[in-house]
Amino acid sequence: MDNLVSMEHLSKDEIFSLIETAIEFKQATNYPNLSNKYIANLFFENSTRTKCSFEMAEKKLGMNVIHFETSTSSVSKGESLYDTCKTLESIGANALVIRHSDNAYYEQLDGLNIPVINGGDGSGQHPTQSLLDLMTIYEEFGTFEGLNVLICGDIVNSRVARSNYHSLEKLGADVMFSSPDVWKDDTMKAPYVDIDAHIDQVDIVMLLRVQHERHQDAGSFGKEAYHQGFGLTKERYNKMKEHAIIMHPAPVNRGVEIDTELVESDKARIFKQMENGVYLRMSVLNQLINRKGN
């Protein structure tokens, strides 16, 4: 693994290696020392969890973080993404974390000689989110084989849905979608089902944020209408299996994707996902930088 840009590019062995190392880091008190390494986080879209989680992971590994703000960089003067990244490589960055609104932006970065970690590309992929989700599931169930996973919400605009669909299917889970017709994505082969017909049969309910910023003109729903039609209500929660868990990549629209009182319920793993994100990203950084020998 020279870069991490898509879950489709990872083998099962690579996925398990990253998860197992992250679990080791979570249980450890000492971590690898990367204090002689430099990294830049280029976030061209707003972010709280992913950006701060990467920064925490980098600091726990002792890395030096190069301060980069898109609004004050030469990007505002028309510099290409490639030239920006090549500049950071030239001045000594050992790796780059990038979030960008363009799908597959990383395809224009083939000339780089340092690792690129995709922090999310448009509606394409979000590999570290998928990996931290997988880590959370693995801690809970110890396997992926035969698990029934229901992913609910804005499928077509969700890089989380796409990344998790590819990874969970690869690992042996059975994935289903539940979505309004306007947000369905037929490029993925998972069946679309009625949430009420399957809520009592699944092991994992993965809720997706309603991405108002990506569909302001059409397909939006009133909060209560969406909640009753596709969200996790208290009534649906009470029908879930005893061992079933709730996941959400956040930020959470409370009262829309999930009832406010359920965000920190016994079955919810939303904040555990965030905790695991730090250790998983430590695992990714450590493996990529050591593999590259930077």
291 has binding-site annotation: no
Give the count of beta carbons closer than 10 Å to the beta carbon of residue 189. 8
59 has binding-site annotation: no
How many residues in the chain?
Answer: 294
51 has binding-site annotation: no
29 has binding-site annotation: no
End-to-end CA distance of the chain: 14
244 has binding-site annotation: no
21 has binding-site annotation: no
49 has binding-site annotation: yes
Spatial distance between the Cα atoms of 205 and 243, rounded to a whole number of angstroms: 11
161 has binding-site annotation: no
Spatial distance between the Cα atoms of 288 and 2, rounded to a whole number of angstroms: 6
Cis peptide preceding 251, ω within 30 of 0? yes
162 has binding-site annotation: no
50 has binding-site annotation: yes
* Ramachandran assignment for 42, one of left (phi > 0), alpha (psi -120 to 50 degrees), beta (any other): beta
Q: List the binding residues for L-aspartate.
A: 77, 159, 209
Q: List the binding residues for carbamoyl phosphate.
A: 49-50, 99, 126, 129, 250-251
Q: List the binding residues.
A: 49-50, 77, 99, 126, 129, 159, 209, 250-251
